[in-house]
Each structure stands twice: as C-alpha cells, then as structure tokens.
Amino acid sequence: MRTARFTLDPAFAIGEVNPRLFGSFVEHLGRCVYTGIFEPDHPTADAEGLRTDVLDLVRELGVTTIRYPGGNFVSGYKWEDSVGPVEERPRRLDLAWHSTETNRFGLSEYIAFVRKLGPRAEPMMAVNLGTRSVAEALELQEYANHSGGTALSDLRAAHGDKDPFGIRLWCLGNEMDGPWQTGHKTAEEYGRAAAETARAMRQIDPSVELVVCGSSNQSMSTFAAWEATVLQETYELVDHISLHAYYEPADGDLDSFLASAVDMESFIENVVATADHVGARLKSGKRINLSFDEWNVWYLSRWQEYAKTIDRTGWPEAPRLLEDNYSVTDAVVLGSLLIALLRHADRVTVACLAQLVNVIAPIMTEPGGPAWRQTTFFPFAQASRHGRGEVLDVRVDSPTYKTRKYGETDLLHATAVRAADGTVTVFAVNRGRGEPLPLEVALNGLGLTSVVEHSALADADPDARNTLDDPERVAPHQVEGTALRDGTLTAVLEPLSWNVIRLA
C-alpha cells in the first residue's frame, strides 16, 4: 500500500471552529423525548423528569447547541400547547410522525434540559412556518425572551419561569422545500414568509440570529434555485442558511457509503457558491454562513419500507421509530462527515447531529432501564473534545479507490485542528476496507515534539455494534507505534478506521 501524505503549516489555515459545530437535535419523534431524555418514572429521573443517566452521557458527548422541537414536527407545532400546568396541556395529533403528542414535555422542560447540560450548551428554537406564520412566531419570541411587563412575558413568569429563556438562535421553519412537509411552500412563497418573519423578529430584538431554510438535500430537484430565490428575499435579514443530509449504503454499496463525505463537501461548497452569488448580485458586503442543522447516517430506505406498514387508524404515543443500531462502519462514516464539517469551518458555523437520543442517535435507552453509547457516540465526543481551535488546511496525497457514485476517491480523509495552547489534533479516516494505510505528515513551524496519543475506532468485524445486551462491545483503542521524529509524524491507520492523533 502506497503511503498517504500531507503537510501541516500554521501559515495555511481554514478558520476558527465555532463551538456550535458540535450541536445536536431533539425532536418530538419516536422515543427521542419520551423515555429518551424525559422519563419521570425512571429510577434516575430528577425533579423535572429528566433522566440523569442520559444527561451524563450528553455531557460526555460534548453537545453544544440543541435544536428543538423539529424537524418535521415543528410544522404542526402550537407552542402554546407546550407551556403552563402539565395537567392542562392538550393532547394533539402529530401529522409528521403519525403519533399522539401529549405535551408533557414542552418549552420550559426543554430549556431546563439545555441549562442542565452546562454553560456551554445553548438552545436553538425552530418556529412553525408550515401551518402558522409571523404572529405566532412573535408571540413565541415574546413569551420566551422578553424580560417582563407584557401579557406573554408575564404569562411565562406565572408558569414558573421568571427569568427569560434567552434564545438567541432561531430557525425559520424546517425543510419547507419538501413536499412531505405540512404546509409545504414554493421558494417564492417561503422566501416572502421567512423575510416577513425575520423582519418582525428583529423589531423585537435586532440581535437575534436567524436560520433560513435551504434545500432538504442536494438531490432535490429545486436545489440551488431554491437557495437563490429564498436568499434573494432574505439575504440582509438572516445570518445562516440550512443544509440537511443523511447517508446510507444504497443497494449495499459500501465503497460509496464510505465516501459519503464527498457528497457533503460538494453540498457545502455548492451552497456557499450560491449564497455568495446572491450576495454579489445584491452588491452586499454581508456573508451568509451555513447551518448544517441535520446530518447523520440514517437507514432511510428501511424507514420508507416500514412507513408503508404503519396502521394509519392508530395514533400511538412515542412509538419506537427510526431506532437504527449503528455499526463500526457507520461510525467511521460519521467520523468522516465530522471531518467534512471541520474542513469547512470558515462557513459552517452551526451543525446539529440528528438526533440526540434513540432516534438515529448516538445514545440509546430502554424505558425503565439503562442508557448506553452507540458506536457513533465516540467520533462525535472525540471531535467535540479535541476539535476546538483553528482548522489547518489539509491537502492529501493519497492512494485512491473506485466508487460507483463518486468515481476515484482518496482512501485518506483528514483534517487537523490547532488549539489555543499550540497542541494539534489530527482526525483521519482510512476508507479502505482491506488494508492498513501508512500515513506521513510533515509538520512545519508548529513546534510539535511528541505524540500524546493515537486512538482508533476499528474492529475485525466492521459490523460490530453496541447493543442493550452488549453495550460496550465497541470502543476506541490505543494504537502503538505512532511516532514524531525530525518534524515528521508517521502512523499506520487500520483498515476501515476513525483515528484521533494528538500532538504536543
């Protein structure tokens, strides 16, 4: 196997990592909320009904921003249902996931959850622009954020929350380009609605940060045209445009699946080009950043087959939906997607792994029982812990392999982050399924002298998983033999592996 190589130099950098890059997503979908983060009867539940075993794992995961309450759910969401005395909250039909929403967990409980994660976590609230509009968004903003002395802020206080929630980051709807979305709109319709909502929200608070809906994925027939039309209406009113993408091994094509980040990087670069083109047409000095606020490995085809079998006469509470059990292969792909986000940290300033618990999630729970880490937990936790600082420009010289979807693709996918104290962490994926990949990194002007650790997530069985019965089957392990001599780092990356190499 030919050696893969790249050079690191502090003179060549991408930009600073925004902590919001390590966000996640809580939607009223399946068991994400109920028996996920919220289970009042659980042995570990606190006074607010939050599972403290899950809180501990979320803190370990290193999540920063928590997007809520959807997702497709938000397009039928009536925020008023989710506040006030729990026993008085109405039960509603959730059209998005064909479930019954009890509203036992609502806005106040969500804010309590985020606050208990610690000072580095912040809320990211979505408003309903599917079945509702400007007025309801303003009412929610006033209830959540105004200090007091008005009907809605005083109502919040009467409900037990004297202090404002302080929500800074707001999504103007969700996937409004999707025909599956309740209240789906054309780009022209949505662009006008988003502009009107943004303008009004800024009248309450000019400092809010707003995310306008981009395309649900790059394969949408309206992709790029949607972004251009929506931004034409909203460019000076919003801060971010959203991207969503999920990946799975279509038709068993593992080689293309392992190269999923090729599509993610293309998606990012195409949205940047479109946004900058609109800015140039408008002669604006402003730059729109990207909020990749839904991304993950998701076996969507399984869900689509299952959805055909759902009993449409029943409306269950918190059914088991989208509970994908992730393999080592899935975790390596997720790590590669994290690398893609970091490689574009100059423009991707918000990102949310969808979702947080049980639903295509890094954390799983059983009602009344344990919580455990999926394989995908580990790359995210390590990236969040060690991926803070300045992203260095990485241009790899790598052996390649053939993929059905993306053609000739590098076996090595990598990035590096330099922390404020000068330490450097290399994140690297070997996409090769058969052979180890030798790696050499030339280190110029970084003052690095030692390898702190080389951790890898890999397994002789690439289908190995963590389950209820065997929750610790897969975990990262230490790699021996990685060395730094005369300004060159040398390592061997195991087949199909996610690697974290820390240098000091």
Rounded Cα distance between 443 and 309, Å, is 56
* Tokens read off for 68: 């809520």
Active site residue 175: yes
* Cis bond upstream, residue 362 (ω within 30): no
Which among 27, 101, 175, 233 is annotated as catalytic? 175
Residue type present at position 377: F
Region of residue 216 (phi > 0: left; psi between -120 and 50: alpha; otherwise: beta)? alpha
Residue 62 CB neighbour total at 10 angstroms: 21
* Tokens read off for 407: 């053609």
- Phi, psi angle pair for 196, to nearest 5°: -65, -40
Which DSSP string corresponds to 329-390?
HHHHHHHHHHHHHHHTTTTEEEEEEE-SBSSS-SEEE-TTS-EEE-TTHHHHHHHHHH--SE
Rounded Cα distance between 89 and 102, Å, is 8
Dihedral sign for Cα 294, 426, 453, 10, please.
negative
Active site residue 435: no
Which among 80, 227, 265, 294 is annotated as catalytic? 294
Rounded Cα distance between 24 and 152, Å, is 29
Give the active site residues. Answer: 175, 294
